[in-house]
Amino acid sequence: MKSIAIDMDEVVADTLAGYIQWHHQKTEELISKDNVFKAGKYFFDYMGQEKDGPIRQYLQQKGFFRDLPVIENAQEVIRLLAKNYEIYFVTATMPFRNALEDKYDWLLDHFSFIPVSHYVFCGDKSLIGTDYMIDDHAYNLETFRGKGLLFHASHNVHEIGYHRVKSWVEVKQFFEMEGNI
């Protein structure tokens, strides 16, 4: 059975929505996701935050990764893929001290049909040896030896050279064309 590594943030967990919601609660300012995408930036950069700004500090707090919404259609498509592929959730957790428990619990809540033995919390994804990887960061796909899919996110709109998927419906279509759904 072939295998797929799936990133969490901005691939199945909507961190951009989490940033926007947190910012709105703190300032009452509404930020449009569309405007962040049009700018082609990370939310922090879009907001003009310094490296240690309040939004980045919030990432370090317990709970941020725990309450993120699921990206539309992710659960249904991954459930379908799991019938024919070994699914692994692979996420770079190490830069965020409190993220490990939050991300683990989040996966249990939203993707309990994937065994916990298939959760990979790491700092460097170059060690991943699956057949496919779905990630929002091109640098993770650069060293990947399988077939990489770049999941569309505000910070990667200008990336080229990768097979881009803009939604989980497009992920499903890709794997249908691969002939194994």
- Residues with catalytic roles: 7, 9
Q: Distance between CA atoms of 123 and 93, rounded to whole angstroms?
A: 6
CB 69 within 8 A of CB 8: no
Task: Give the count of beta carbons closer than 10 Å to the beta carbon of residue 176.
Answer: 11
119-122 and 147-151 beta bridge pairing: unpaired
Question: What b/e readout covers 111-126, taking b as 16+ CB neighbours within 10 angstroms?
Answer: beebeeebbbbeeebe
